[in-house]
Amino acid sequence: MRIQEAARQSGVSVTTIRYYEQIGLLNAVNRTAAGYRIFDAHDIRLLAFLRKARDLGFSLDDCRELLQLVTASNRHSSALTRRTRRLAGKRLAEIDAQIEALRRTRSLVKLHIDMLGDTEHECPVSDGI
C-alpha cells in the first residue's frame, strides 16, 4: 500500500511517516520503480506502535529504543523485559512529576481565586512577580 493508505491505517500522518523515515526511526520502506513508498502489514504495525508510544509521551529516542526491544527476536528475554520496564518506569516518573507540578499550579490558582476580592491580602500570584 502507498503512504496515504499507510497513514490512514496506522493513524500516523503522511508528514510524520516521512519524518520517521528521514530520522531513521522507521527503516526505509520498499519503493516502486517510480519511487513511491510501499508499506506492508509489518510497517503498519510498527507505525501504529510508534503512534501509541508517542501518544503516551515517549520521546523519539525512547521510541527508537522501544522499537528495538519489541522487534528483537529475543524480546521476551528477562534482559529485554528489564530494559522495557526501565523505559516505562522512567516515563511513569515523568508523568508523576507532571501531575505534581499541576497540583502545585492548581493550588496556586485556587488560592488566587479564593483571595479575589479579599482586600486584606495581596494577590498571591502577583506577589511572586
Where do the structural domains in the chain lie, given as residue ranges? 1-57, 72-129
Instruction: Answer yes or no: is pLDDT of 74 > 60.
Output: yes
Q: What is the pTM of this model?
A: 0.80
Distance CA 69, CA 53 (A): 13
Candidates 1.10.3720.10, 1.10.20.10, 1.10.1660.10, 3.30.300.130; CATH matching 1-57? 1.10.1660.10
Instruction: Answer yes or no: is pLDDT of 128 > 60.
Output: no
CA 25 to chain centre: 13
Q: What is the pLDDT of residues 8-66, one digit of tens each?
A: 999 999 999 999 999 999 988 889 999 899 999 999 999 999 999 999 999 999 999 99
C-alpha cell at 110: 485556587
Q: What is the pLDDT of residues 100-127, one digit of tens each?
A: 999 999 999 998 888 887 666 666 556 5
Helix/strand/coil for 31: strand
CB-based contacts of 2, cutoff 8 Å, min separation 6: 36, 37, 38, 39
Contact 50, 63 (CB under 8 A): yes
